């Protein structure tokens, strides 16, 4: 049984940069502390009782950090990388070309991801396509990182696919966008799960880590569904989240989340949420 206290002083901050040599060549949208967190989870925290699943890995930046730690720890099993592996021209320019990747034609970034992740190819399984169509082939999941909860219906589907394979008392999920104002339904989902999960860590600005406490049953999934929630339900969930995340001093992020809900009535797709006010 893993203990929440293992996350108390954010031990990933003490990761020696020299241990992560090689991953800098793989562009990532992760903040510096998040990158250390991903590496620490697989190199120091996990015990090899299940696989690692990275949902929404873009060109492989998060997968590289997970796989590097996984390799250093000598774990068996696999790191599963889920994505459509496509990128529009503007995204390629901002997230790839400006980070040293040579320009290329077309939206397909799968060959690029394969090339960038080649140093860890023996431990990575790629799952290419719409995440809601791919599912999980089965087996326990020890570390689940989520960066694809951009729509409520997709979030419900991913949850039903992956969460039942979490190991109570051992598995963690990393909700990378938990505190982003444009995705308040993630907080509502975790409130719906009640004591099935315990928040154990925070990495600025938006990432919250949860330890799985109980098996995720069909009943638990039903209670945590978010696609049919009202704006009032979302606001109530944010209010409850203030209490559970009080130790992490993130009230200002939740303030923005509440404003986002009020300014975008009925919107349940992240990229359709519009920030109205000061720079977000």
Q: What is the dihedral of CA 239, 172, 151, 266, to 10 degrees?
A: -10
**Residue whose C-alpha is closest to residue 180's, from 255, 248, 253, 262:** 253
Q: What is the mean predicted confidence (pLDDT) over 258-267? A: 97
Neighbours of 3 (CB within 10 A): 10
Q: What is the pLDDT of residues 128-151, one digit of tens each?
A: 999 888 999 999 999 999 999 999
Q: What is the pLDDT of residues 157-191, one digit of tens each?
A: 999 999 999 999 999 999 999 999 999 999 999 99
The whole-model pTM stands at 0.95
Sheet of 172-175, strands arranged across: 124-128, 79-83, 51-55, 141-146, 172-175, 207-212, 197-203
User: At the topology level of CATH, where does 6-229 sit?
Assistant: Rossmann fold (3.40.50)
Quick one: residue 21, left, alpha or beta (phi over 0 = left, psi -120 to 50 = alpha)? beta
Q: Domain residue spans in the chain?
A: 6-229
Confidence of residue 279 (pLDDT cuts 50, 70, 90): low
pLDDT digits (tens, 9 = 90+) for 95-131: 999 999 999 999 999 999 999 999 999 999 999 999 8
For residue 193, give the H/E element and its range. helix 185-193
**Residues 6 or more apart from 80 whose CB is under 8 A from it?**
51, 52, 53, 54, 124, 125, 127
């Amino acid at each position: 049984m893993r203990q929440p206290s293992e996350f108390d002083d954010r031990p990933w901050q003490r990761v020696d940069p020299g241990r992560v040599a090689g991953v800098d060549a793989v562009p990532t949208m992760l903040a510096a502390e998040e990158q250390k967190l991903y590496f620490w989870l697989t190199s120091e925290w996990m015990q090899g009782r299940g696989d690692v699943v990275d949902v929404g890995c873009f060109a492989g930046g998060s997968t590289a950090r997970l796989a590097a730690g996984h390799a250093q720890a000598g774990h068996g099993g696999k790191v599963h990388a889920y994505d459509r592996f496509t990128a529009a021209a503007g995204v390629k320019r901002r997230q790839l070309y400006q980070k040293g990747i040579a320009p290329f034609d077309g939206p397909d970034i799968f060959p690029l991801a394969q090339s960038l992740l080649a140093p860890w190819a023996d431990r990575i399984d790629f799952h290419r396509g719409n995440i809601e169509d791919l599912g999980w082939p089965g087996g326990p999941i020890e570390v689940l990182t989520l960066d694809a909860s951009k729509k409520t219906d997709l979030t419900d589907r991913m949850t039903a696919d992956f969460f039942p394979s979490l190991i109570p008392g051992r598995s963690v999920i990393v909700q990378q966008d938990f505190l982003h104002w444009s995705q308040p339904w993630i907080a509502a989902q975790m409130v719906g799960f009640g004591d099935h999960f315990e928040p154990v860590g925070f990495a600025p600005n938006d990432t919250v880590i949860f330890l799985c406490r109980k098996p995720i049953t069909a009943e638990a999934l039903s209670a945590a569904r978010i696609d049919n929630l009202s704006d009032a339900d979302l606001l109530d969930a944010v209010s409850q989240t203030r209490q559970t995340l009080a130790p992490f001093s993130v009230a200002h992020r939740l303030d923005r989340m509440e404003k986002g809900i009020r300014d975008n009535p009925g919107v349940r797709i992240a990229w359709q949420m519009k920030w109205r006010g000061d720079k977000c």
